[in-house]
């Protein structure tokens, strides 16, 4: 709480009404909604289901000023058909975390609400805040900001995790600070693997710029290696989110006999819109390097999400691997 309060010095005690739409069992909701609002003496409007209509009605009725949410909630609000009937000017500050927030969503929501979205990064293992974009300060497109007070960070090589990478070079992000966990309960091997010499190895691929701003490239485990190229799914997600007919998109790597892996994307279209696989691939060719262009496209009604609304890329990958295994089994029996 001390780290977060130091970050938002203009939010005075008792001044605002907070939106309590994040579940308290998730560390983001527990910290940014429950603990922060209690500490600050804010009114907390509790909403059990994160539906756009309910959120907008709460903003209207209670003059919500502090708006902590996850990306899927921002996307849902922006695509609510009756959004134009609601005044969002009571919102003084927005907080986003748990998953990357596409740049197009940031721009559009800030335009609608007239309030700044402060994107944060962290893990359950960092209680959870590790970095936050400077509220009211310099923000850089695509960056998760700089470390919160009393927190050290380094980007190290992906193989051994011992060599510090140069500015602009991607590597694994490691974190040290008072908010970092001491370990996993009754899991000494996992603790030794993840926490080394006081540094938490996050499994996230990041790069630093010359000003110390951090850019998350992707999850180490999510990286797609196709034909020797390292492909970060988030690069593809960001491009597809810019398509006017796309509501949500998620890219994964699937096995490929020739390239090792290749790219498949899952897309949820906006209500009333239609897209074809050919259109998505043609659009991607205009925006992405050739080796990043999706080879397969699947349209689904909704993407799998966690209890806090985070898109579960690993579930899509598991679903796809099960399909491939089933096809191989069917072919062998035939």
Residue 145 within any structural domain of the chain = no
In a domain, 236, yes or no: yes
Separation of alpha carbons 179 and 23, rounded Å: 21
Residues 38 and 121 in one domain: yes
Looking at the domain assignment, is residue 333 inside a domain? Answer: no
Residues β-bridged to residue 59: none
pTM of the model: 0.72
User: Do 92 and 163 share a domain, yes or no?
Assistant: no
- The answer to the question of residue 10 being in a domain is yes
- Whether residue 115 sits in one domain with residue 6: yes
In a domain, 66, yes or no: yes
Q: Is residue 212 domain-shared with residue 236, that is, in the same domain?
A: no
The range of the structural domain enclosing residue 44 comes to 1-140
Is residue 285 assigned to a domain? Answer: yes
Helix runs in 230-334, H state only: 233-241, 277-287, 313-333
Question: In angstroms, rounded to a whole number, what is the distance separating the alpha carbons of residues 271 and 245?
Answer: 9
272-329 pLDDT per residue, tens: 999 999 999 999 999 999 999 999 999 999 999 887 778 889 899 889 888 888 887 8
Task: State pLDDT tens for residues 127-138.
Answer: 989 999 988 888
Structure tokens at 261: 């892996």
**Residue 246 sits in a domain of what CATH number?**
3.30.300.30
Cα-only R_g, the chain = 21
Shared domain for 299 and 207, answered yes or no, is no
Q: Do the beta carbons of residue 98 and residue 124 sit within 8 Å?
A: no
Name the residue among 90, 92, 101, 150 with its Cα closest to residue 126.
150
- Taking the CA atoms of residue 277, residue 278, residue 281 and residue 284 in that order, the dihedral angle to the nearest 10 degrees is -110
Q: How many domains does the chain have?
A: 3
pLDDT tens for the 334 residues of the chain, in order: 889 888 888 888 998 999 999 888 888 889 989 999 999 999 999 998 889 999 999 999 999 999 999 888 898 899 999 999 999 999 998 989 877 787 888 889 999 998 889 888 988 899 989 999 988 888 887 889 999 999 999 999 988 899 999 999 999 999 999 999 999 999 999 999 999 999 999 989 999 999 999 998 877 778 888 876 778 898 899 899 999 999 999 999 998 877 788 999 999 999 999 999 999 999 999 999 999 999 999 999 999 988 777 888 989 988 988 888 888 788 877 7
Q: H helices within 195-276, ranges in order?
A: 233-241
CATH number, domain of 17, equals: 3.40.50.980
């Amino acid at each position: 709480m001390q780290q977060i309060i130091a970050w938002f010095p203009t939010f005075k005690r008792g001044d605002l009404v907070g939106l309590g739409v994040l579940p308290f069992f998730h560390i983001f909701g527990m910290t940014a909604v429950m603990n922060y609002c209690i500490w600050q003496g804010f009114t907390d409007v509790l909403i059990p289901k994160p539906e756009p209509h309910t959120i907008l009605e709460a903003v209207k009725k209670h003059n919500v000023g502090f708006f902590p949410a996850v990306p899927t909630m921002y996307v849902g609000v922006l695509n609510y058909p009756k959004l134009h009937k609601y005044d969002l000017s009571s919102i003084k500050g927005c907080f986003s975390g748990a998953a990357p927030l596409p740049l197009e969503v940031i721009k559009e929501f800030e335009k609608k609400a007239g309030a700044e979205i402060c994107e944060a990064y962290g893990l359950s293992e960092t209680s959870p805040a590790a970095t936050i974009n400077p509220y009211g300060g310099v923000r850089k497109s695509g960056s998760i900001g700089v470390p919160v007070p009393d927190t050290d960070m380094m980007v190290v090589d992906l193989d051994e995790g011992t060599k510090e990478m140069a500015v602009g070079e991607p590597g694994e992000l490691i974190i040290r600070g008072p908010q970092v966990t001491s370990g996993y309960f009754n899991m000494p091997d996992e603790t030794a693997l993840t926490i080394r010499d006081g540094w938490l190895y996050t499994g996230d691929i990041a790069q630093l710029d010359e000003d110390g701003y951090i850019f998350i490239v992707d999850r180490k485990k999510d990286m797609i290696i196709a034909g020797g190229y390292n492909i970060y799914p988030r690069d593809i997600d960001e491009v597809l989110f810019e398509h006017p007919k796309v509501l949500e998109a998620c890219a994964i790597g699937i096995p490929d006999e020739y390239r090792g892996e290749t790219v498949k994307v899952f897309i949820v279209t906006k209500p009333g819109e239609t897209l074809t696989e050919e259109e998505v691939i043609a659009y991607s060719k205009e925006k992405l390097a050739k080796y990043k262009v999706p080879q397969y496209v699947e349209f689904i009604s909704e993407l799998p999400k966690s209890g806090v609304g985070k898109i579960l890329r690993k579930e899509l990958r598991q679903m796809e691997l099960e399909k491939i295994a089933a096809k191989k089994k069917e072919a062998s029996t035939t």
